[in-house]
């Protein structure tokens, strides 16, 4: 059995411990492949392999719990490091075959020079772009935005955009971030905040049931990357995942072919009585509710955590946000690229690689690590329910995951060669989507005895009825191997 590096071993042990898992299980994971294929001053490679290992080990543990098998039950876990690295950049490796993917970034999104440094404006959603333009008082043209930003101090512009309902992040150094009130609050938060309550036991897996999440219903209230990475991983191991969005919501089009696979996708307007009743019925039948909304967003609609627990007494609630659940930025909108600017990652990358502009991580590692760790948390919650008859509420954040990454030091080699075509090729597959065929990275699975598969094609939002699979409607097309 190949052993992990010292950094991988320590990080994986920490993650599994923070998830509440038994350390005895960590010895059952085998690590293979090249250790360094993501060039960064930070230990992004170790984070990728450790996060994927945690999610995969949690699958094996749940399988043992649901089948009533004592101990590890022989479900070994193999972490292919190159595959984990490829999965952390899967949207970059996605290729549309015979059709055109939309652009990943809005033309106005990016890093801009302000009076005292750099600021990143996130404008992929129209309402966030509109907020930026209102604050700047300029036309939706990159040169006009560039000129307007130069008249502002970064912190002032960041605050103004956020107050207007937009998303922005001034680039701070690691020292400046550590002194920030939000960073000080975040330092007191656990990586995973756990709450538990008594509930009914989870049903066991019948003989021949197949994948370990068979019969598990997941109400998916996530967007963009981190949350969808979690729920598509759960779908690959048999969960019935139903994503809910409000009517008219437009997700980043370039991500739909990656982040909707394995799920059905429905629309509900939670301001309408009929749709509220439907949502509450769905929640009541769920075993997992996963959301990445700000702490006040669902509360404003009347669905705070206590209400969700009342509606779904047997469901575990797995949630994340950008900057943490305490401190002055508790309700701040945020994304991976913004958190990297805020906490000093982009600053430190610039120091290591030279140049004037921010140098973020080579992949959106905070999003992907958070996604796989959310999946691990969800799986461990199901194991806890199976063995202890407890439902859980688990919270984490992109910024808290960033803190874990930064705690590993900034001594890795930023000139490490990236994945070569030959290293990437074994982890690619051709698959259908509702938009057209694609070549994509397979699910980074390594649990012995299981071949994860997605039973719904990736496709547009709102294309399915708001029902659980098999309860009505035609649902999505089926039959993809993950």
- How many C-beta atoms surround the C-beta of residue 416 within 10 A? 16
If pLDDT is split at 50, 70 and 90, which confidence band does 70 have? low
Contact status, residue 371 vs residue 203, Cβ threshold 8 Å: no
* Cα–Cα dist 43/88, whole Å: 13
Question: What SS3 state is found at 170?
Answer: strand
The residue with greater pLDDT, 125 or 354, is 125
pLDDT band at residue 470 under the 50/70/90 scheme: confident
Taking only the tens place, the pLDDT of each residue in 320-366 is 999 999 999 999 999 999 999 999 999 999 999 888 999 999 999 99
Domain boundaries, the chain: 6-100+187-324+362-481
Q: Could you give the CA distance from residue 129 to residue 142 in angstroms, rounded to a whole number?
A: 12
Mean predicted lDDT score pLDDT of the chain: 94
Characterize 118-152 residue by residue with b for buried, 16 or more Cβ atoms within 10 angstroms of its Cβ, and e for exposed: bbbbbbbbeebbebbbebbebeeeeeebeebbeeb
The C-alpha angle with vertex 173 and arms to 168 and 175, in degrees rounded to 5, equals: 125
Q: pLDDT tens across 276-309, in order?
A: 999 999 999 999 999 998 878 899 999 999 999 9
For domain 6-100+187-324+362-481, give the fold.
Rossmann fold (3.40.50)
**Length, in residues, of the chain:** 482
| Main-chain dihedrals φ then ψ at residue 263, nearest 5 degrees | -120, 150
DSSP string, 397-435: EHHHHHHHHHHT-S-S-TTPPPPPHHHHGGGEEEE--SS
The reported pLDDT for the residue numbered 236 is: 97
Query: Tell me: the pLDDT tens digits for 412-444?
Result: 999 999 999 999 999 999 999 999 999 999 999
The CA-CA-CA angle for residues 450, 454, 458, to 5°, reads 160
Residue 245 has what DSSP assignment? E
- pLDDT above 90 covers what percent of the chain? 89
Average the pLDDT over 24-53 and give the result.
94
State residue 469's pLDDT score.
Answer: 86
Q: Is the pLDDT of residue 474 over 50?
A: no
Average pLDDT in the 460-466 region?
97
Residue 29 has pLDDT above 60, yes or no: yes
Q: For residues 481 and 216, what is the distance between their CA atoms, to the nearest angstrom?
A: 19
CA nearest to 171, candidates 41, 346, 402? 346
Kindly indicate the confidence band of residue 481, based on its pLDDT and cuts at 50, 70 and 90.
low
Strands 167-170 and 117-122: antiparallel
Rg (C-alpha) for the chain, rounded Å, is 21
* pLDDT tens figures, 187-197: 999 999 999 99
What pLDDT sits at residue 473?
45
Contact 213, 238 (CB under 8 A): yes
Contact 443, 429 (CB under 8 A): no
Q: How far apart are CA 67 and CA 473, in angstroms?
A: 31
Q: How far apart are CA 38 and CA 93, in angstroms?
A: 14
Neighbouring-strand partners of residue 114: 117
Residue 482 confidence (pLDDT): 64
Comparing 60-69, 118-127, 376-385, 423-432, the range with the smallest average pLDDT is 60-69
């Amino acid at each position: 059995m190949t052993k992990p590096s010292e950094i991988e071993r320590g990080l994986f042990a920490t993650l599994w411990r923070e998830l509440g898992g038994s350390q005895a299980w960590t010895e059952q994971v085998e690590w293979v492949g090249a250790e360094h294929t993501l060039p960064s001053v930070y230990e992004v490679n170790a984070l990728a392999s450790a996060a994927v290992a945690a999610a995969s080990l949690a699958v094996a543990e749940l399988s043992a719990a649901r089948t009533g098998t004592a101990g590890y039950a022989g479900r070994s876990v193999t972490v292919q490091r190159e595959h984990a690295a490829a999965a952390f950049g899967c949207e970059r490796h996605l290729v549309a075959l015979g059709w055109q993917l939309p652009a990943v970034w809005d033309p106005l999104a990016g890093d801009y020079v302000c009076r005292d440094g750099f600021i990143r404006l996130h404008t992929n959603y129209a309402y966030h772009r509109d907020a930026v333009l209102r604050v700047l008082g300029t036309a939706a043209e990159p040169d006009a935005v560039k000129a307007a930003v130069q008249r502002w101090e970064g912190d002032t512009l960041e605050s103004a955009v956020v107050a207007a309902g937009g998303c922005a992040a001034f680039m701070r150094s690691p020292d400046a971030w550590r002194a920030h009130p939000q960073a000080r609050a975040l330092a007191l938060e656990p990586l995973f905040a756990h709450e538990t309550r008594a509930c009914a036991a989870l049903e066991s897996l019948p003989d021949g049931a197949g994948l370990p999440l068979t019969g598990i219903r997941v109400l998916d209230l996530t967007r963009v990357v981190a949350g969808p990475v979690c729920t598509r991983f759960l779908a690959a191991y048999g969960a019935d995942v139903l994503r809910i969005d409000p009517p008219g919501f437009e997700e980043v089009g370039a991500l739909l072919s990656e982040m909707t696979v394995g799920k059905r996708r429905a629309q509900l307007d939670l301001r309408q009585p009929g749709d509220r009743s439907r949502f509450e019925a769905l929640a009541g039948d769920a075993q997992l509710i996963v959301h990445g909304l700000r702490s006040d967003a669902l509360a404003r609609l009347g669905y705070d955590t206590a209400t969700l627990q009342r509606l779904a007494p047997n469901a575990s609630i797995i949630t994340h946000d950008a900057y943490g659940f305490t401190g002055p930025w508790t309700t701040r909108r945020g994304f991976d690229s913004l958190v990297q600017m805020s906490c000093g990652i982009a600053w430190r990358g610039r120091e290591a690689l030279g140049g004037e502009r921010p140098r973020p991580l080579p992949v959106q590692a905070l999003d992907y690590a958070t996604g796989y760790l959310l999946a691990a948390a969800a799986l461990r919650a199901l194991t806890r329910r199976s063995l202890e008859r407890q439902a859980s509420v688990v919270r984490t954040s992109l910024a808290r995951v960033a803190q874990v990454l930064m705690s590993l030091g900034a001594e890795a080699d930023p000139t490490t060669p990236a994945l070569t075509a030959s290293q990437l090729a074994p982890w690619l597959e051709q698959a259908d989507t509702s938009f057209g065929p694609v070549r994509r990275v397979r699910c980074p699975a390594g649990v012995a005895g299981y071949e994860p598969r997605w039973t719904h094609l990736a496709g547009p939002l709102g294309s399915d009825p708001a029902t659980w699979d098999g309860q009505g409607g035609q649902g999505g097309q089926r039959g993809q191997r993950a």
